[in-house]
Chain A
């Protein structure tokens, strides 16, 4: 039982490049979330989804897009990478009071 799987684990992007961070869960949860974690800071919610076909913005959605075509997958898209998007990104599933996190994607934009 893998839980929440994120790929890739590390990535370096040039300014202006695009990429998709993948997240897959096998826990059959309806709710999925994307957070970013900056050094010395708490987690900030980027986007979340309450089920397939439904997504909504979190606290810091600018520069990101998401889609949720299946219960299992919740990819996060960066269209024009900027240095301010250098961060560690965590995908999570479950209800908000009991979240299960993936192991994160460390992204650097140079």
Chain B
């Protein structure tokens, strides 16, 4: 099946540092999504991107829809301990009568106070 390459697989950072993670695909998507999953919970949508080149922020989080439509990036600025979790990207291909959503394997983020 279709796969997304999400990197890095894990990150260990100090509180206050900035974080960058990305997702790449061999296929084009028309939607990119970023989710966060905390222990024992389901993923929660952070940011949705719908247009190539789009840059969207949600508080300290900023995500971009790559111009090629084959990649996306998520940045977290000034990390805090509650940023801990697993971040998933998802590429979506939504056309009339069909929808396809592919998830990356996740980036596990640990923030040391």
- Contact call A43/B94, Cβ cutoff below 8 A: no
Q: Which residues of A contact B48 (CB under 8 A)?
A: 97-98
Instruction: Name the contact of B104 in the complex, choosing from A42, A97, A99 (C-beta under 8 A).
Output: A42
| A101 contacts the other chain (CB 8 A) | yes
- Contact call B41/A99, Cβ cutoff below 8 A: no
- Contact call A96/B99, Cβ cutoff below 8 A: yes
Are A97 and B42 also in contact (CB < 8 A) when A42-B103, A42-B106, A45-B101 are? no
- Contact call A59/B1, Cβ cutoff below 8 A: yes
Interface of chain B, main secondary structure: strand
**A residues 56-110 in Cβ contact with B at 8 Å:** 59, 90, 92, 95-104
Q: Contact size class for A?
A: 20 to 34
- Contact call A42/B41, Cβ cutoff below 8 A: no
Measured CA separation A96–B106 after assembly (Å): 18
Measured CA separation A102–B40 after assembly (Å): 10
- Contact call B101/A41, Cβ cutoff below 8 A: no
Extra contacts besides A100-B45, A103-B40, A103-B41 (13): CB < 8 Å: A4-B42, A42-B4, A59-B1, A96-B92, A96-B99, A97-B101, A98-B45, A99-B43, A101-B44, A103-B42, A104-B40, A104-B41, A104-B42
27 A-B pairs within 8 Å (CB atoms) are namely A42-B88, A42-B102, A42-B104, A42-B105, A42-B106, A43-B103, A44-B103, A59-B1, A90-B42, A92-B42, A96-B92, A96-B94, A96-B99, A97-B31, A97-B33, A97-B50, A97-B92, A99-B45, A101-B41, A101-B42, A101-B43, A101-B44, A103-B40, A103-B41, A103-B42, A104-B41, A104-B42
